[in-house]
Amino acid sequence: MPKKYTGVKILKVRKNATLKEIYRAAKEQFTAADLARFCQDEPMVPAEQVLAEMEAIHQKEMRRYKNSKSKKKTKQPGLLHKRSFLDHLKENGIGPKRHNGVRVLNVRKNSTLREIYREAKKQFTAEDLARYCQNERMVPGEQVLAELETIYKKEMRRYKSTENKKKKK
């Protein structure tokens, strides 16, 4: 009685066969029916439908995340909440410190990276943004390349002359 086809062909190769021999046997046993099986059109889902489902899942998870976050933030009466060092400075009329024109970031000594980033974000002002967005006078690329080439040629001449002097000695 012939074996029933289960969808997986058994590849027959000798024991201790090399990879090259296994590939050769697989290539010989590969038929047009196998190729037809791999070339069948399968039902597909439109990308718009997949995207809509993913957006719905994302919105649902974000709502769940925000709800759980708001439950954790319930304030207990009578507890004082920590104020940042910057808030304390602003209340007393003291501006942020500067060192050689660069604003000093005010954080505790043993602050975590997250706390440091939070303070940096609080202290970043529109003035800082304007300073980073200014168009500065720049040197044309051609001029930089020309200067680099002259420096290279000069150094190569100097290197060759020192090599020649070493050979003459």
Structural domain boundaries in the chain = 85-132
Residue range 32-73, pLDDT digits in tens: 888 887 787 777 778 888 888 888 888 888 888 778 766 655
Q: Is the pLDDT of residue 20 over 90?
A: yes
The answer to whether 59 touches 51, Cβ cutoff 8 Å, is: no
Tokens representing 155 are 């150094």
Categorise residue 14: left if φ over 0, alpha if ψ from -120 to 50, beta otherwise: beta
Which of 58-72, 76-90, 111-125 tops mean pLDDT? 111-125
Q: Which residues pair with 21 in a beta bridge?
A: none
Tokens representing 123 are 């202290």
Phi, psi of 103 (to 5 degrees): -70, 135
Q: Is the pLDDT of residue 80 over 70?
A: no
Predicted TM-score (pTM) of this structure: 0.25
The answer to whether 105 touches 116, Cβ cutoff 8 Å, is: yes
Please give the Cα distance from 138 to 133 (Å, whole number).
14
pLDDT for the residue numbered 11: 84
pLDDT for the residue numbered 19: 92
Spell 126-160 as b/e; 16+ CB within 10 A means b: eeeeeeeeeeeeeeeeeeeeeeeeeeeeeeeeeee
pLDDT for the residue numbered 81: 45
Residue range 130-148, pLDDT digits in tens: 777 777 677 778 888 888 8
pLDDT for the residue numbered 120: 82
Element (H, E) at 31: none
